Chain A
Amino acid sequence: MLALLGTAALVLVAGAPWVSPAAAGGKNLTSPQNVEVCIIDDAFTLKWDRSDESVSNVTFSADYQTPKMRNWEKLPGCQYITGTMCNFSSVKLNVFEKIKLRVRAEKGNETSPWHEVGSFVPYRKAQIGPPEARLKAEDKAIIVDISPPGTKDSLMWATDRSAFTYRLVIWENSASVDERTETVYPGGKIYKLSPETTYCLKVKAELRLQRRVGSYSPVYCINTTVENKLPPPENIEVDAKNQSYVLKWDYTYENVTFQAQWLYAYFKKILGNHSDKWKQIPGCRNVKTTQCVFPQKVFPEGTYLLRVQASNGNKTSFWSEEKALDTEIKTAILPPVISMKSISNSLQIYIGAPKDTENKSVSQAYVLTYEIIFWKNTSNAERKILQKKGDFVIPDLHPLTVYCVKARALVEGERWNKSSVFSDTVCEKTKPGNTSIAWLISGVCTVVFFIPAVIYVVKHLLGYIKYVFFPSCKPPPSIDQYFSEQSLKNLLLSTSEEQTERCFIIENTDALVTVEETNQVGEDHKKYSSQTSRDSGNYSNEDENSGGKTSEELVQQEIL
């Protein structure tokens, strides 16, 4: 019986490995290993490793599934692959949606178990590929026309095409040590090059806000041209004056005329060739001076790019560097408005935006830093502080001093580095702070008001104490009348000197009573004093004891 069971168990155990391969679909096929998805721009690649090198004639197939699909579906481009990678870019996937993949090995009718790749979002996994660049050379500059990674109809970067920024590395072909790295925008130019030199460069794209960097493009080389007789104008500046803009530039040669053009700045963000979209600035054509003035109305609100070119009859120079004009910022930075309040020994300063002639608050486009200069009215020593906030406190000043403050606004940006003129000077006197001076004043007040009061109180207290402890037992004046005799008077008055008296009771032998105690327990004292009072009644020493008695009684009262 047991043997039977044992054999049955053995059979079952032996049978199990037969069963599972049948379910898995093959005796020896194992699923592929190290399955990876590699996405560069719009190229989707699935890679894996064979798990078993010895087995031949194995093919691989893959399936995919998106949340919208109910079942796994065959992945086009990845069916019965003999190699170890496949390209499934033909599938028009939604790159922002999650997708799952699985791969298995096949041989004839047998298949390995599926190896599943966890769900991922293609957009997140994608790597930024190399951009493409087309170069055009000038004498001292190269125009780099960069196309973003991926194709024009790229699905992956459809939402990012204008967000790419490009980092470019350029070097002279002969001396590859001198490398320069710059950030360029499509259609941008690299300046400060030497004429008739071969330059090589490579570009990579970045999505800065997503902290994603792409790979470098292949190296492109180009020769700069012979130096042009007429150099382009330099140091272009735009300033706002009254109701017009003044465009200024520098130029070394004489007897040339200039012309200036403008372009909407947003074109730089839109890909494509915009060289035909530059327009002439009115009043800036064939000007002989190195500046031209045009009304502000020419540029309604917005950001514009300006460029200038010199010409000399039949020869023209290359275009100058483009200067951006943001109408918001160029309507001069007006000086701020200061208002102050003094709080103890510090000043609270409010810096407000200036108001223009129409009393509207003028807004500034960029973050302003305020430079505040303050000094004591009497001295010339100025102190300078920089603040970004418009509401702050200058602490630790000398109290009761007049301080004067003036401020100006500074703007620092890549393109602008301007400051306004100084605001009007505002002066304010600081209040006395909680320093020693405050104590001094309060001390003086104390002296003035409280000491007489204290004296008054002390005086009364002394009088009271005197009354209690040192009573001036003057007999009433009427007694004087009756006791004119000096001896009697002496008797009466002499008792006032006596403070304490020792009384000895002759009759009563119970206890010896002394009257001069002051520190005895009240109860005892009561007993004694009652005795004494009784006893003193027996005495005829009334006169002698009267003072003592009064003092006794008083003491008694006191203690009780």
Chain B
Amino acid sequence: MEDDNWQWHMYDTVKGSDWLGDQDAIHYMTREAPKAVIELENYGMPFSRTTDGKIYQRAFGGQSLKFGKGGQAHRCCCVADRTGHSLLHTLYGQSLRYDCNYFIEYFALDLIMEDGECRGVIALSLEDGSIHRIRAKNTVLATGGYGRAYFSCTSAHTCTGDGTAMVARAGLPSQDLEFVQFHPTGIYGAGCLITEGCRGEGGYLINSQGERFMERYAPVAKDLASRDVVSRSMTIEIREGRGCGPEKDHVYLQLHHLPAEQLHTRLPGISETAMIFAGVDVTREPIPVLPTVHYNMGGVPTNYKGQVLTTVNDQDTVVRGLYACGEAASSSVHGANRLGANSLLDLVVFGRACAKTIAEEHKPGESIGSIKENAGEASVANLDWCRHANGSIPTANLRLQMQKTMQTHAAVFRTEETLKEGCAKMDKLYSNLKDLKVSDSSLIWNSDLVETLELQNLMLNAVQTIVGAENRKESRGAHAREDYKTRIDEYDYSKPVEGQQKKPFDQHWRKHTLTTVDEKTGKVSIRYRPVIDHTLDSNECATVPPAIRSY
């Protein structure tokens, strides 16, 4: 591949985040990235290879050379199109070398907090219905996102925001939940993901006129522009009547101009997925695709070391004993929009950062603070209530109503009217949680009960998302508002900064949203936190000043 530099990746990530990302965390992640990949390869991850035996790298969205001026970068290391699957199996296999104790099919109900410190979790074992309080000096949340709050998402059924919900119930804030990424290429209908790697290998999107429309919206990067840009472009094409299919409600991803051999070697997984879920032979026909909910940029706020933060008198304060990483966290490397491939990187770098921080600050055998006799009582009470809930709305019904509301009112393009309506509907749906009906009262593997607990978790995430979206009166990254079309920063970066008056903190939007929820009423409270612009070491990596974002 061509010459590359981690500082260029750092620039791409800051730009991709629409300057809402914390540059110290981004500096950390991009600097550690090459080491993380080598470490994974040493663990046995079966990366695809080039003819000289080195790790194969492909182009991915939003990745450029020379700070955006040198064309498309090919820096994304991959295992065909199954990198995530391979990463999971490699890390799981490695974990078996150590004395990792897995509590398989235990559902974590809540954090056990004492004196503002996290001292463990209380969890339900599905296998026999027993409840366990697990005391721990350090708890790391790696619970993923909450794509299932929407009707159509690429996420698995288990993506129900359990970690962010536990944090909300503990009275701690979540950050930037209004930023929900719509991945450009989810299969129309099923919602299964077609990786961005397709466009990285040379595939492109076409409308009903057979036009490669991304050339108009992103002249330089075209189909490999940042995901929010592509999703918006696709939505506009469909809205303006150039959608494909009988309902003209999706567009096509074309791959059949690529050699069949390349598709077979580099993209075997999606070739199979496209056949199974869309009945399409990618060597001959295009795949019908639609922007689909895929990732949550927001989550539990942390610093670059993985420690969970809250604010006390507007000062960042570490919550002792609690860490978060991955999609559940907001460190924030992704800011208002995440670049493709940065999530898998985020997982390994910050997962490791949590471990390193814990190892640096603690020794094995340290005593854990005590917990009250009745710690976790509220969780048990809720569990019991759910198990015997005999209202009028079955869990599946209420969940579907929530999903349809979020899909309609917190979509790719948002307006004041639809958001306000959405907030009101979500408020009503939240209060309907009191009227749930659970049919299965068994103790062993009660999936009806667990889906109900998950619905409670989804609701907490959903209300924070939609209230946060209605509140943010600008467009930034994945949060696109038709009534506030531009970014509102502390300076107007479309003009020279010199001579401009800097806007005070409360009059611009280049800041993180922090939301908390009252568990009983669903009422969301909002406060803010500044974006971290300084890097870890300005000699090693300079801050990227804000600029207008175009591809």
Asked if chains A and B come from one complex, the reply is no
| Chain B residues within CB distance 8 Å of chain A | none
